[in-house]
Structure 1
Amino acid sequence: MPGTNLIVPVVLWGKHAPTHCISSIYLSRDQKTLVTGCYDGQICIWQVHPETLKMTPRCLLVGHTAPVTCLSRASIIQDNNYIVSSSEAGEMCTWDLVDGKCRESVKLSQVHTNIQAYHMCNSEDLRLFCNGYYAEILIMDPFSLEIMFSLSSKMNPDWISALHVLRPSSRKDDVVLAISITGTVKVWSLLGHENKQSEPIYENESKQIRCLNALSLNCCAYNQRTVLIVCAKYCQIYDAGDFSVLCSIQAPTGERWMSGDFLAPDRVLVWSTEGKGYMYKLPANSVPDHKGFHGPTVDHDSPVLFNLLAHPDNKLLSCPPSMRFVVTSVGGKQRRLLLRGDSHGVVSVWSVDEAAAPTSRIVSHAPVVLTSLNLAWAEMNPSPVGILDQLHTPEETEVKLTSSIYILAANRLVVGREDGSIVIVNATHTVQLQLLHGPHQQYDDWPTHQLLLGHNGRVNCLLYPHHIHPRYDKTHLVSGGIDFAVCLWDLFSGALLHRFCVHAGEITQLIVPPHNCTTRIQKCICSVASDHSVTLLSLSERKCVTLASRHLFPVVSIKWRPLDDFMVVGTSDGTVYVWQMETGHLDRVLHGMIAEEVLAACDETVADDLGGAVAGSGDLQGLANPAVHFFRGLRHRNLNAMR
């Protein structure tokens, strides 16, 4: 619409479905929505038919920068269609499943490995009980994503590897049962009035058991007297009273357990890294209602495998699948399902009720529903269109698209391809050709396009610097490829202006430095390569200004201290390298807490009178920040300030 800032996003998917290596899976209680998170950070929402469980992909949510590890419901209200997602980078988001909007997002220093949504006593709605790579259990609000309070450990504090929240039948309080990675079982009792201002909440009791690195912990919902703890090599049934071992189940040869749950007081379902579900009948000493409960173990009386949930083809997976056991109801009747999402993007659903009855021999049950994005794409008629379909003829091999940028000012779409070519087309005309019917579809050479040839192999990244800041020439386009080269192009003529060959690995990222750097650096762009090197390339001088190549691990972040002339490079092992931009001199290599503080200080933007950036809003906060003192010491070569 002319005269407005309205931007309408248009997606042209192409003939091939996007990759979707599933890392987490969730089914809503009304069985109308399935959600899958993947290792690329995207979340796919599937529309589900409650009766037949037929699934159709509806939308793709983009927001996480790391694998999505946890998915949980956000409300106990049936019509409240919100979920909470968490990633390996500590990011948490609350999503509206109806329109796909992100309602709230936050980035925590704690990384969750498990989230259990639970309705506490004296609470209006659900609370999220989170555990992961930290020593506490965090209780969070699913909509504000604030930490309401936390549960701490007094005895043997360590990372909590699994937890289960329940309400005992004879009591009004809630009980949190958890186990640490070193095998300490802990119990907290919650009355419902806990908050952030209250005293630290320590465990009521704890006990050390022989169970290291537990993956899941579930209390039997039918009697609350037995507990299933799953480890990689074995899973064990414990007496909830004294936490003594009642029986143990070894993982099948070549497989590792992932998790499990109770199907009945005397039956459990455990699933493995191969994507198979194993159903076991428990011995008499592990069944509370049996007269032999907690009795001595008899040699011939051990868990018996009676059924198996598996794919008939037993296809090899490149990574362990995400699996989840859900209990729902349809038409007033209970329905129990086992969900699986694997590395091929395939979603499988087994009906546990059909396979739960013991038989005279072990029967392998196939999934009742099987779907994927590839199958959904194959069923579409006509098939989804791609942005450059007009360039391909049926007899030609299709060239994959590997990178793209939209240049708003010039209304150009620039697309890098796997064969090293770069195609520039008019964005509006191309979308019009693919999505709108009319006489323009009869033209053979419309819309016209430019073809830039300069890379030998895949084009990994594209950058139009003028779009980031007007100080750059509006004719300059920069590309980085698998051939270790960074190419500078004239956007309008298509001429190759210069080819930078300074890296010893494929180019992975192109970045624009801040606008308040020195005059020389302002004409540069920053490139990152797979050989762990970082360069500042001058587009005006056509040469490399700085080559930072002493990093031992992959580069994961680049920060700037422009007024101090520092480029700060963070690597995957937590090390931080401080480089002078003008001279290319490596000033310092930092580790540990000071490395984290220096990276955090780079995010602050308030300038102080010494030309640095002060953390916080007040002078006192800035003066107290050790990272700021460190930068000042570097700038003025003051060893006392650095200490």
Structure 2
Amino acid sequence: MANSSQLVIPVVLWGKSPPTHCVSCVYLSRDQSTLITGCYDGQICLWQVEPESLKMIPRCLLVGHTAPILCLSKASVVQDNNYVVSSTESGEMCTWDLVDGKCRELVKLPYVHTSMQAYHMEGTEDVRLFCNGYYADILIMDPFSLEIIYTLSSRVSPDWISALHVLRPNKRKDDIVLALTTTGTVKVWTLSAREIVNYKPTDLILENESKVIKCLNALAMSCCSQNQRTVLIVTAKYWQIFDAGDFSVLCSVTPAPGERWLSGHFLSPDRVLVWSDDGKGYLYKLPTNKLKGHIIESCSVADSKEFHQTDPSADDTPFMFCLLEATKRKPVCCPPAMRFVEESAKGPILIRADSEGAVLVWSVPQVTNQQISQIKQQPGSKPISIDPFMCTSIAEAWTAMNPSPVGILDQLENEAKLTASIFLPQQGRLVVGREDGTIIIVPATQTVMLQLLHGSHQQYDDWPPHQTLAGHNGRVNCLLYPYHVHPRYDKSHLVSGGVDFAVCLWDLYAGTLLHRFCVHAGEITQLLVPPNACSTRVQKCICSVASDHSVTLLSLTERKCVVLASRHLFPVMNIKWRPLDDFMIVGCTDGTVYVWQMETGHLDRVLHGISAEDVLYACDETTTLAVSSGESGMANPAVHFFRGLRHRNINAIRHATQRGLHQLQQLSHHNQHDDGDAQKPRAFPLMIQGLRTNPKDPESHILCFDIEALIVELLSDEYSAMSPGTLEAHGLINASEYQKVAALTQSASPDAQKKIADFFGKVKNKAGDMERILKEKDKHGILAKMKEGAENVQTKLQAKAESVGFKPINTEGASKLVGSTIDVGFFPSPLPLQLASILPHQIQL
């Protein structure tokens, strides 16, 4: 609905299958009323949490990211400030409002964050985000503007930061940043509240201390809040407790066979909770002889020997006394996302969200030292096993919904999965491709009525009428209506691509298969339209991309393949155009860029590295300049002619010669055609957009109702249905026109005068009926109040005009027009009330 700036109401038709939600990160809001889960497909799900029982229900699905979400963090220290920040592996960062689900801020940075820690620095009003990832610095960002405020850089051995922790030592106002690089170098930054004010965003803050330890590729780092002398560092192969004074190893534990550690947290000075990629939580008691020191105020090296001196007779191995596991759940296919929450209605809890879209919550038990001693003395010394007290998933919530969510084609008997769809607003039809290879064409308005509105139409078995196109042997992957992109294409042409390696050209109105292109050696993944500035021959083509890494230009008029680009070694990621140079730029997933000549079909060059990125950026810049300048950009036929001579391509030479002869004749009319094409786009009352959260999911649909366009459409229908007498009764036309008509009819015959009188009598009766209908529909007097409000505004405007010296004007005709326009502006059916009752149910999962 980009053409409209007015109110647009979305209604989602999810279908019977729940969306896939493979969770990559999880976060619980500060007020513990909302659980946020980000997935590998780029969506964010908001779960409503009951404060006492911690029962969770999926409430909203936020769609905005285009890459897997790596980390989530709070955006404010204020508990009532319900904002959260998300970051993806492509550098996208968003600030979301958890109340209404709106994206308040969006940026795309050249940095990929793997961790974000929100921390309230000394001397600042709100929290700052300490970010680390695939870069050699620590970025301190504002969570609301998403701007980089400070940068912590390395003086010695700069490398990627794999883990960090920010803390404030007791009885000190300085903030300490502990970080560990991927190569095992510990770095310490001291951020003074007095000095940090004078820093500029361009200044680099260097570390105060650094030391190399034997700890590679750390995943998490945290300090004990009660004993800041101890530091927990978790890697995939082991977790270790370090002395913060000299960073010597106090104890170390390896995971169970077949598992890897993910992260951990201190429960107390001698208790640690660590979780693995198998979705289990392990509670350990640290050896007391390793931690003889007390809670200290700084991280100095003093008394390091006394702090971690050992007793040879004591056991110095951490003891696992409790295991948090889900015995009734099947193993997950990828590592789940887990987070520890210290305070909740159930005490300390551990949250797990996995690839099945399921959320599990454990209550961390409070086990005394005496109970741990009893467990340790038992034969076999098996730890306590605790199951989660709360288990839920999107699939369970989907099954529990009554009535169940509806799909756009639920009325059809064949329940094949929907795989592609395209909406044709000018024809008012929806084209849907399915997994069985068929393409269904249905009237959009009637289909929406069948799914959303109750009435007698739901009792018909053959309503609404639909058309079936059968031509693919397997799943339909993509659909394209070229005329919707540019009017140079035939209005009846519809193009589809399937898993059977074929591109089919259909007659939309006759429902027949016009041609079947069998050029690719893989399933069709994408269909595109070349820009209007290309050559005349390419303008009649469409571009198709397949899974065998090939790209073709298929001519819809000549019914043949014009260009076959099939030398790509990796999957095609994007396609750019340089129509002035007759180039088609193909970018692959490995970063390689191939430059193809569209007229001759030859490979011009292959680019790698920075030069490839520059060419892609130049294509975007050229397209922007061409659109802003409004140039037609007809490619030079001479360039195509000499390229054809060089490659000995007779067809290219012939087409270039013909285009050169006709280009001079068409040049004078070209600007007029461009002016005709550049008309203001029309806003449609209904737009349907396909939505798929995962490539394996059936396609859902978003119905976007433009309220302004809907009201205009209803008023237009009412206006067209009114007779002249009704228009006069409502003040839309002048009554003097009828007096002129009456004067002309006086000279008519008696029979003609009688017919005219009967006609005006019927018109008068119809006007009375219309007025009665208006009064019945306006039971609450809303229209009368609106008319009274309009008259009050008009009176105020007149008074304001007279006060500034303007002469009063006769506004009697205008007041009639305004009043009558408001009077006829009603809905002939209670559509807004039905939409209001449907909307909350359909947007929720």
Query: TM over 0.5: same fold?
Result: yes
Match of 1:270 among 270, 274, 278: 274
Relative to structure 1, is the Cα distance of residues 375 and 198 closer, same or farther in structure 2, using a 3 angstrom cutoff?
same
Asked whether 1:220 is paired with 2:219, we answer: no
Residues 135-154 of structure 1 correspond to what in structure 2 (within 5 A)?
Answer: 135-154=136-155
More helix by share: 2
- Residue 837 of structure 2 aligns with which residue? none
1:96 corresponds to which residue?
97
Q: CA deviation at 1:379?
A: 0.7
Corresponding residue of 1:238? 242
For 1:370, the equivalent position in structure 2 comes to 391
Residue 431 of structure 2 corresponds to residue 441 of structure 1: no
Q: Which runs of 5+ in 2 are unaligned?
A: 295-304, 376-381, 630-642, 644-845
Aligned partners of 2:49 and 2:56 also within 8 Å? yes
Q: Aligned equivalents of 2:236 and 2:13: distance in 1?
A: 42
Give 5+ residue unaligned stretches, structure 1. Answer: 615-634, 636-643
Q: Secondary structure at the match of 1:528?
A: strand
Whether 1:383 aligns to 2:418 is no
Paired position in structure 2 for 1:335: 347
Secondary structure of 2:432's match?
Answer: strand
- Aligned residue identity for 2:358: V
Query: Per the alignment, in what secondary structure is the counterpart of residue 389 of structure 1?
Result: coil
- Render the CA deviation track for 1:395-442: whole Å, top value 9, x for unaligned: x6x311112222222222221111111111112211111111111111
Q: Deviations over 1:489-533 (max 9, x none)?
A: 222222112211111111111222222222222222222111111
Are positions 1:351 and 2:363 aligned together? yes
Cα distance in 2, alignment partners of residues 295 and 307 from structure 1 = 27
Q: Secondary structure at the match of 1:253?
A: coil
1:467 maps to 484
Q: Residue type matched to 1:338 in 2? A: L
Distance 1:286 1:567 in 2: 66
Query: C-alpha separation between the residues in 2 aligned to 1:114 and 1:197?
Result: 21
Taking the TM superposition and a 5 Å limit, the aligned residue runs for 1:76-475 are 76-191=77-192, 192-193=196-197, 195-287=199-291, 289=293, 293-296=307-310, 298=312, 300-330=315-345, 335-353=347-365, 359=372, 360=375, 361-392=382-413, 398-475=415-492
Q: List aligned pairs for 1:579-590, cutoff 5 A.
A: 579-590=596-607
C-alpha distance 329-343 of structure 1, shift in aligned 2 (>3 A): closer
Q: CA deviation at 1:607?
A: 8.0
Distance 1:550 1:163, change over 3 A: same
Which residue identity lines up with residue 388 of structure 2 in the other structure?
P
Deviations 1:88-145 (A, max 9, x none): 1111111111111111111112111111111111211111111111111111111111
Cα deviation digits, residues 334-359 of structure 1 (max 9, x gap): 83221111111111111114578854
Partner of 2:781: none
Provide the residue aligned with 1:621 in structure 2: none
Instruction: Report which of the two structures shows the higher radius of gyration computed on alpha carbons.
Output: 2
Shift of 1:329: 4.0
Distance 1:297 1:346, change over 3 A: farther
1:265-318 superposed Cα distances (whole Å, 9 cap, x missing partner): 101111111111111111124435479741147583201111011111351211
C-alpha distance in 2 between matches for 1:221 and 1:524: 66
Which letter does structure 2 place at the counterpart of 1:231? T
Structure with higher RCO (Cα < 8 A, 6+ apart): 2
Partner of 1:448: helix, strand, or coil? coil
Residues 101/297 of structure 1: CA separation in 2 closer, same or farther (3 Å cut): farther
Residue identity matched to 1:467:
H
Distance in 2, Cα, partners of 1:538 & 1:151? 56
Query: What is the CA–CA distance in structure 1 between the aligned matches of 2:89 and 2:118, rounded to whole Å?
Result: 19
Q: Structure 2 vs 1, CA of residues 411 and 200 (structure 1 numbering), >3 Å: closer, same or farther?
A: same
> In structure 1, what is the equivalent of residue 620 of structure 2?
603
**Is the CA contact 1:602–1:613 (under 8 Å) kept in the aligned structure 2?**
no
Distance 1:264 1:51 in 2: 25
- Which residue among 468, 472, 485 is the counterpart of 2:502? 485
**Does the CA contact (< 8 Å) of 2:293 and 2:308 recur in 1?**
no
TM-score when scaled to structure 2? 0.69
- Give 2:575's match in structure 1, choosing from 532, 555, 558: 558
The answer as to whether partners of 1:563 and 1:612 remain within 8 angstroms in 2 is no
User: 3-state SS of the aligned residue for 2:252?
Assistant: strand
Q: 1:622: which partner in 2?
A: none
Q: Is the 8 A contact 2:572 2:586 kept in 1?
A: yes
Give, as a single letter, the amino acid of the residue that structure 1 aligns with 2:308.
H
* Structure with higher strand content: 1
Structure 2 distance, partners of 1:286, 1:402, is 60
Specify whether residues 613 and 557 from structure 1 end up closer, same or farther in structure 2 by C-alpha distance, changes over 3 A only: farther
Give the paired residue count. Answer: 605
Amino acid corresponding to residue 302 of structure 1 in structure 2:
T
CA distance in 1, matches of 2:201, 2:336: 40
Task: After TM superposition, give the deviation of residue 81 of structure 1 in Å.
Answer: 1.4
Letter matched to residue 303 of structure 1: P
CA contact under 8 A between 1:422 and 1:452: conserved in structure 2? yes
- CA RMSD between the two structures: 2.3
Alpha carbons 1:235, 1:257 under 8 Å: kept: yes
Partner of 1:629: none
Q: In structure 2, what is the Cα distance between the partners aligned to 1:27 and 1:381?
A: 28
In structure 1, give the amino acid aligned to 2:609: G
Partner SS, residue 145 of structure 1: coil
Q: 1:339-393 deviations in whole A, cap 9, x for unaligned? A: 111111111111114578854141111111111110001111111111111102x
Rounded to whole Å, the distance in 2 between the matches of 1:375 and 1:65 is 27
> In the alignment, which residue of structure 2 is the partner of 1:627?
none
